[in-house]
Amino acid sequence: MKYRKTIRLKDGRSCCLRNATEEDAQAMLDVFNLTHMQTDFLLTYPGEGDMTADSEAAFLRDATASDNAIEILADVDGVVAGSAGIEPVGSKHKLRHRAEFGISIDERFWHLGIGRALTKACVECARTAGYSQLELDVVASNEHAIALYQDEGFVEYGRNPRGFRLRSGAYQELVLMRLELG
């Protein structure tokens, strides 16, 4: 799936939202590791992934060639400020209508409109791919993200009180949200 759009950020800079390509593999890995160090709101801790530049390049090549998945990066002045993507929940007939959404933004670029723009881009791509439902999990204490998702039409459909277990042993509650697309 292909996507490209330039937006104006709240601070006046331009941001290009586009497919992450094979050539972006190392930069995408770097921002992935960085964002996962910056917050406990994301799925993994830094270093837990087994992606290499080569495997990331293959993942990005497949996403670009896909008609139902995409990985979009946000480029601000040549820096990958974040990324977001959609992928199918499953390939079985009963699941083909559902896609999962994920996003992460480098904290240096928080509150500039990148998260909203990436969310809108993924919603648009999910519609283009023919999905009728887009889903995400968000940590309950991540109030800014929840507010953004609600603004974009996502609704809560459940909670998992022990969705994430931190290394400290504490738990984070996950809010399960979905957006009906059609």
Give residue-wise pLDDT tens across range 108-166.
Answer: 999 999 999 999 999 999 999 999 999 999 999 999 999 999 999 999 999 999 999 99
Tell me the CB-side half-sphere exposure of residue 21, using CA atoms within 13 A. Answer: 7
Give residue-wise pLDDT tens across range 2-52.
Answer: 999 999 999 999 999 999 999 999 999 999 999 999 999 999 988 887 888
The CATH number of the domain holding residue 172 is: 3.40.630.30
For residue 73, the enclosing domain spans 4-180
Give residue-wise pLDDT tens across range 94-121.
Answer: 999 999 999 999 999 999 999 999 999 9
Contacts of 91 (CB under 8 A, 6+ apart): none
Alpha-carbon span 145 to 167, nearest angstrom:
23
Total domains in the chain come to: 1
Under DSSP, the state recorded for 23 is G
